[in-house]
């Protein structure tokens, strides 16, 4: 018999049913009492109190390692599902969730498969973080009971059952093996972090052989992951590009690091999501299965539990479970492939265009669609979890909206003319000529100053800055973007035209203060024209204006310091 059954399971009827499409009549709660936050006290009692307060017909089962071995709890779970349980709430860490999902998925047809809800109570709770679930157990329980939004998750099928996040070979497996339960309870995720750093320093590279969907690969690696979810412990750290637990594919991530510099570069890429491919990192999509062999047997961890040693064969289990999430993603497409894949970009453009022309268009929806290009689960995680990606998506969404504007052919020609006249700041020549005609000596000094400062500003923007950021033009990223006028061939960020326009406004506005508002208005029009004409994102323009202003002030100050008697 299971070790604990709540007294509320006697004859109590549902007075407030769970919001479920098919009208679930009973809630099954599965608790791992050894989980870090459950063992810390209070979680189990709070859950039972809330269930009784709501007068929900429920059953609570405790399970531990011995229950997994003897099958008593799994038999009780099967019995509850046969008698109408439609929602299973799992209280524990990633290992607890993967074990319970394995039991639930075993031999179940789609019609009898219950919805799974997660109350994170483990140490790392990677899956819960990936799904944007609250880390506070009480808040997570509210989502588990009240939300009717669900998504289908893939899983990794291992010899021991299903894993929902990652299977790893390397420092992560040693970290899992050597972090004590006492340390997990006392120090939480920091216990894992400290052990990982200690083991990572001395981790040797191993010789790996991979057979991915029938194709052989070889590599020497420090850390290898088969990832279903992208979170590297916690957002915004992610293992690789386009790792999505809903895309019908797994991702083989192979990391080779040699020394502190490689570790720092890898850590930066995990934080920013700018995952480079090459000597340090390789990424391979897995559509069916992968077999991993090493030069010597190595520990393998799955969802935070040691599951064996190499060699090991892992396969994809598509749509293994339906899990409760905080908000609906029904209108957010699931995209296969990394953010750099043309197919993914085209799908994003189609979805974004559909959103813009829909009856209730919103920039927020367009942002979600573009964030889903990286992973649908990222959409659930909030703005601060992936700030770089969210800001880029917001920038692109505003661009798409602006790109739909049409001011007419005359306005188009005028804006093209204005834009072309500020390529390197040439448009300011008219102001310089007017100043020379009014006062030749003063006008020549101002013109000389502007020429040097504008030249230095444009060299800085167009060479080191653009080549450093290497942002592609929107008409390349979004193939359906409307472009009016010439298509530049260099990079997009920051906008050189806008930088030149604002630099000129600073330089000439200083000497002609009455005309300064007109100069800045002209600079703003140049910036608007770059977005309207389809060649720059709004962010390129805003930062271009700020950079142009800053560099103009800086270079003019340096010029006056170096040539005090001339300028």
How far is the C-alpha of 188 from the C-alpha of 419, rounded, in Å? Answer: 56
Instruction: With respect to residue 430, please indicate whether it lies within any of the assigned structural domains.
Output: yes
pLDDT digit string (tens) for 99-122? 889 988 875 545 567 899 999 988
Tell me: do 136 and 210 sit in the same domain.
no
State whether 447 and 548 are in the same domain.
Answer: yes
pLDDT score at 339: 45
Asked which of 387, 403, 419 is the last residue of a domain, the reply is: 403
The position carrying tokens 């979805």 is 351
One domain for residues 300 and 426: no
Please tell me the pTM assigned to this model: 0.77
Q: Return the pLDDT at 183.
A: 54
Of the three residues 403, 418, 439, the one that is the final residue of a domain is 403
Residues 357-366 have pLDDT tens digits of 455 568 888 8
pLDDT exceeds 50 at position 404: yes
Taking the C-alpha atoms of residue 447 and residue 180, their distance in angstroms, rounded to an integer, is: 71
Q: Is residue 501 part of a domain?
A: yes
State whether 188 and 213 are in the same domain. yes
Provide the domain count of the chain. 4
266 and 173, same domain (yes or no): yes
The answer to whether position 123 is within a domain reads yes
pLDDT class of 351 with cuts at 50, 70, 90: low
The pLDDT tens digits for 301-325 are 999 889 999 999 999 999 999 999 9
Burial grade of 148 (CB within 10 A; 0-12, 13-18, 19 or more): exposed
Residues 34 and 92 placed together within one structural domain of the fold: yes
Distance CA 490, CA 536 (A): 11
Q: Of 160, 98, 165, 157, which is closest to residue 129 (Cα–Cα)?
A: 165
Are residue 95 and residue 129 in the same domain, yes or no? yes
User: Is residue 309 one of the residues assigned to a domain?
Assistant: yes
337 assigned to some structural domain? no
Residues 85 and 212 occupy one common structural domain: no
Q: Evaluate whether residue 119 is within a structural domain.
A: yes
Q: What is the CATH number of the domain that holds 251?
A: 2.60.200.40
Last residue of a domain, one of 148, 182, 200: 148
Closest to 526 measured CA to CA, from 398, 404, 402, 425: 425
Q: Are residues 374 and 468 in the same domain?
A: no
> Would you place residue 342 in the very low, low, confident or very high pLDDT band (cuts 50, 70, 90)?
very low
- Looking up residue 66, the CATH number of its domain turns out to be 3.40.50.10330
In-domain check, residue 328: no
Q: Does 544 lie in the same domain as 414?
A: yes
Domain that holds residue 74: 7-148
CATH number of the domain within which 431 lies: 1.10.606.20
**Residue 18 domain-assigned (yes or no):** yes
d(CA 207, CA 220): 4
Instruction: Match 């000439």 to its residue by tokens.
Output: 508
């Amino acid at each position: 018999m299971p070790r604990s059954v709540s007294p509320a399971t006697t004859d109590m009827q549902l007075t407030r049913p769970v919001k479920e499409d098919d009208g679930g009549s009973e809630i099954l709660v599965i608790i791992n009492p050894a989980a870090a936050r459950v063992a810390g006290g209070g979680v189990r009692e709070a859950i039972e109190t809330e269930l009784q307060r709501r007068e929900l017909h429920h059953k609570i089962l405790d399970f531990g390692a011995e229950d997994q071995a003897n099958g008593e709890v799994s038999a009780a779970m099967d019995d509850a599902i046969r008698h109408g349980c439609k929602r299973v709430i799992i209280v524990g860490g990633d290992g607890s969730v993967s074990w319970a999902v394995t039991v639930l998925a075993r031999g179940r047809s789609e019609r009898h498969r219950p919805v799974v809800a997660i109350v994170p109570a483990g140490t790392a709770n990677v899956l819960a973080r990936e799904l944007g679930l609250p880390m506070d157990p009480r808040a997570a329980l509210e989502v588990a009971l009240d939300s009717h939004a669900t998504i289908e998750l893939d899983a990794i099928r291992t010899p021991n059952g299903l894993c929902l996040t990652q299977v790893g070979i390397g420092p992560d497996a040693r970290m899992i093996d050597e972090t004590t339960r006492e340390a997990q309870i006392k120090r939480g995720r920091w216990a894992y972090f400290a052990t990982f750093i200690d083991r990572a320093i001395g981790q040797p590279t191993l010789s790996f052989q991979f057979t991915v969907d029938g194709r052989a690969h070889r590599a020497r690696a420090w850390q290898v992951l088969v990832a279903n979810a992208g979170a590297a412990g916690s957002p915004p750290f992610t293992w690789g590009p386009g790792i999505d637990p809903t895309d019908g594919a797994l991702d083989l991530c192979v990391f080779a690091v040699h020394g502190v510099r490689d570790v720092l570069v890898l850590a930066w890429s995990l934080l920013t999501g700018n995952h480079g491919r090459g000597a340090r990192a390789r990424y391979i999509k897995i559509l069916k299965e992968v077999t991993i062999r090493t030069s010597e047997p190595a520990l393998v961890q799955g969802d935070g539990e040691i599951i064996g040693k190499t060699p090991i064969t892992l396969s994809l289990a598509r749509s293994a479970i339906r899990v409760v999430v905080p908000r609906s993603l029904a209108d957010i497409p699931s995209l296969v492939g990394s953010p750099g894949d043309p197919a993914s970009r085209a799908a994003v453009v189609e979805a974004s265009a559909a959103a813009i022309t829909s009856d209730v268009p919103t920039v927020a929806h367009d942002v979600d669609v573009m964030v889903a290009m990286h992973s649908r689960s990222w959409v659930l995680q909030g703005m601060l979890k992936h700030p770089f990606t969210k800001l880029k998506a917001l920038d692109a969404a505003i661009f798409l909206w602006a790109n739909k504007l049409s001011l007419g052919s005359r306005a188009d020609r005028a804006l093209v003319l204005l834009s072309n006249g500020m390529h390197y700041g040439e448009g300011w020549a008219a102001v310089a000529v007017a100043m020379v005609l009014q006062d030749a000596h003063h006008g020549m000094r101002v013109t000389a100053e502007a020429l040097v400062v504008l030249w230095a500003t444009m060299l800085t923007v167009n060479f080191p800055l653009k080549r450093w950021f290497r942002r592609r033009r929107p008409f390349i990223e979004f193939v359906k973007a409307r472009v009016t006028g010439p298509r530049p061939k260099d990079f997009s960020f920051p906008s050189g035209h806008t930088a030149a326009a604002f630099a000129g406004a600073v330089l000439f506005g200083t000497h002609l203060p009455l005309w300064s508002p007109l100069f800045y208005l002209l600079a703003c029009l140049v910036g608007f024209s770059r977005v309207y004409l389809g060649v720059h994102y709004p962010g390129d323009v805003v930062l271009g204006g700020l950079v142009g202003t800053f560099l103009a002030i800086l270079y003019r100050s340096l010029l006056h310091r170096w040539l005090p008697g001339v300028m």
